[in-house]
Amino acid sequence: MDEKYSFSLRKIALLGGINNYIAVSSRELGDALGMSQQSASKRILELLEEKYLIRDLGARRQRIKITDIGVEELRKEYNEYRRIFELTDHVTLHGKISSGMGEGGYYINQKPYMDQFYAKLRFKPFEGTLNIKVAVEDLDKLEVVRNMPGHVIDGFEKDGRTFGKVMAYRAKIQNLDCAIVVPERSHYEDTMELVCKFHLRRTLSIKDGDDVAVIVDLTPLSPEN
Amino acid sequence: MDEKYSFSLRKIALLGGINNYIAVSSRELGDALGMSQQSASKRILELLEEKYLIRDLGARRQRIKITDIGVEELRKEYNEYRRIFELTDHVTLHGKISSGMGEGGYYINQKPYMDQFYAKLRFKPFEGTLNIKVAVEDLDKLEVVRNMPGHVIDGFEKDGRTFGKVMAYRAKIQNLDCAIVVPERSHYEDTMELVCKFHLRRTLSIKDGDDVAVIVDLTPLSPEN
DNA sequence: ATTACTAGTAGACGAGTAA
DNA sequence: TTTACTCGTCTACTAGTAA
């Protein structure tokens, strides 16, 4: 989101525009934003154009409300601040082993993915992926991780099929190096996928339903990644 | 803090500039901020001028660190996001406008009530009360509000008739300051009464049956109330 | 009162370039 | 390579004002 929109949207959110329509004149908004009535009016039109805001333009007073898209953008910024102030160098995610759909394995075993894993994370994933259903109390932490820049594993095409771009985050499970892999075009999910050099189920003697803790490395990446 | 500085400072914080000096060239910062090397260089000079940043300008690479002043400004923004997303300071009650029995108006217009409203809520109710039938799913939230300490409006006697003690809770309806008034000896009710400085039906262009949201302020009262 | 257009202006930006 | 100057362009702002 453009920074000028972020500031305006945040102030509207503070006026209560997240859950409800609020009656705010362009003059009032201008005062809140430290700008003129005219500029605030224009800003509202821009935010409407960007679909961050919807409006009910009554005869007397306009009423505005932040859209889901707008709330999502604000939440991304919130997560950036959480990374700054709450999470220092790592975060622990608790969850349970789940079998999932087994699709991850087929994807991860593709050579172009494998080669990139080795180049960027310094290990070749042994098997497919280990699915972990993250505990509800840690889901917001998972969202913070998802919004961080990770190791980029580029997508490719093969046999007419598209393999999407994936983000990988260094992590540890029971002191074993591993990585969380997140498809770029993923929505809100409560399950994360782990890849590791070893066969995790066998090496750690874990089975579906077991509780595990995954420690995700949050130290900033060096630029060449 | 000027919004253009806030954005830059946040990105520097995400690069690790809060606790340590970090080596970031103006080109790298420009890339992170989506601007040119020249503009990033200028931005760093401005942030230094504002005392949000200190710099160790080495021969090859500059190293920058966010000052305590800068961290404080970032924390203010973080707190704004916390207010937005961790809202424990207010509760939203949804409901429909209802005409009610019109009794509230007669009571509230009594001078002893009016005087106390002005003394404690800093406004004189324009007319009587606006009745709102609270949605079933929010009734438990209304009960929470009813059980909270509010502004006490004392009762009195007049012409042999008793006017009871009333509790008032600061609230907002479409960003307009108002108050919920609750007679002390009231049983379970699904209707709440609002008072406001303005004629709410006219000001907000609302009529019976319209859906509204009332945001009740839950911040603790200062002792003199 | 409102919202929002047009026009004029100040300031933010990047290209070129020096140190 | 760096940082950061000058300068031309262009965008974002406000004043005036219409609806």
Q: Helix (H) and strand (E) counts for chain A? A: 8, 12
Task: Give the nucleotide nearest to B42 (CA→C1').
Answer: D4
Q: Which residue has the higher pLDDT, A96 or B60?
A: A96
Give me the CA B9–C1' D14 separation in Å, rounded.
28
Model pLDDT, residue B156: 93
User: CA nearest A22 in B: which residue?
Assistant: B174
Give me the CA A30–C1' D6 separation in Å, rounded.
35
pLDDT digits (tens, 9 = 90+) for A139-163: 888 988 998 888 999 999 999 998 9
Task: Give residues with Cβ within 8 angstroms of B51, minimum separation 6.
Answer: B67, B69, B70
Q: HSE, CB side, 13 Å, CA atoms: give it for residue A85.
A: 18
- Residues of A whose CB is below 8 A from B204: 23, 61
**Strand C nucleotides within 7 Å of a protein CB:** 1-6, 12-16
Closest CA–CA distance from residue B141 to any residue of chain A (Å)? 16
Contact A43, A33 (CB under 8 A): yes
- Residues of B whose CB is below 8 A from A6: 3, 7
Given a cut of 70, whether residue A102 has pLDDT beyond it is: no
| Rounded CA separation B25/B7 (Å) | 17
- Residues of B whose CB is below 8 A from A7: 3, 6
Mean of the pLDDT values across residues A120-135? 87
Closest CA–CA distance from residue B142 to any residue of chain A (Å)? 17
Tokens of B34: 């989506």
Tell me the angle at which helices B3-14 and B26-33 cross, rounded to the nearest 10 degrees: 110
Q: How many CB pairs under 8 A join A and B?
A: 76
Give me the CA A37–C1' D14 separation in Å, rounded.
9
Tokens of A176: 């074993």
A219 φ/ψ angles, rounded to the nearest 5 degrees:
-65, 140
Average pLDDT, chain B: 87
Closest CA–CA distance from residue B111 to any residue of chain A (Å)? 30
User: CA nearest B5 in A: which residue?
Assistant: A3
> Using the beta-carbon criterion (under 8 Å), do A58 and B84 form an inter-chain contact?
no
> Using the beta-carbon criterion (under 8 Å), do A60 and B203 form an inter-chain contact?
yes
Whole-model pTM over 0.75:
no
Model pLDDT, residue A95: 93
Model pLDDT, residue B221: 59
B220 pLDDT band, cuts 50/70/90, is low
- DSSP track, B137-160: GGHHHHHHHHTS--EEE--EEETT
Residues with CB under 7 A from strand D: A 4, 30, 35-36, 38-39, 42-43; B 25-27, 37-38, 41-42, 44-45, 57, 60-62
B224 pLDDT band, cuts 50/70/90, is very low
Closest CA–CA distance from residue A84 to any residue of chain B (Å)? 6
| Rounded CA separation A62/A14 (Å) | 17
Closest CA to A80 of B28, B18, B50: B18
**High-pLDDT (> 90) share of chain A, %:** 50
Give me the CA B160–C1' C18 separation in Å, rounded.
92
Closest CA–CA distance from residue A117 to any residue of chain B (Å)? 24
| Rounded CA separation B133/B94 (Å) | 8
**Residue from B1, B2, B3, B11 whose CB has the most chain A CBs within 10 Å, to mutate:** B3
A225 pLDDT band, cuts 50/70/90, is very low
> Using the beta-carbon criterion (under 8 Å), do A10 and B175 form an inter-chain contact?
no
- The segment with the largest mean pLDDT, out of A28-32, A60-64, A216-220, is A28-32
Long-range contacts of A146-150 (CB under 8 A, 24+ apart): A146/A182, A146/A186, A147/A76, A147/A79, A147/A80, A148/A83, A148/A218, A149/A221, A150/A182, A150/A221
Task: Sort residue A34 into left (φ over 0), alpha (ψ -120 to 50) or beta.
Answer: left
Closest CA to A62 of A86, A43, A87: A43
CA distances to A73, A183, B210, B216 from A16, in Å: 16, 34, 19, 11
- Residues of A whose CB is below 8 A from B13: 84
pLDDT digits (tens, 9 = 90+) for B18-29: 878 899 999 999
> Using the beta-carbon criterion (under 8 Å), do B175 and A19 form an inter-chain contact?
no
> Using the beta-carbon criterion (under 8 Å), do B204 and A7 form an inter-chain contact?
no
pLDDT digits (tens, 9 = 90+) for A156-197: 999 999 899 999 999 999 878 899 999 887 777 889 999 998
| Rounded CA separation B190/B193 (Å) | 10
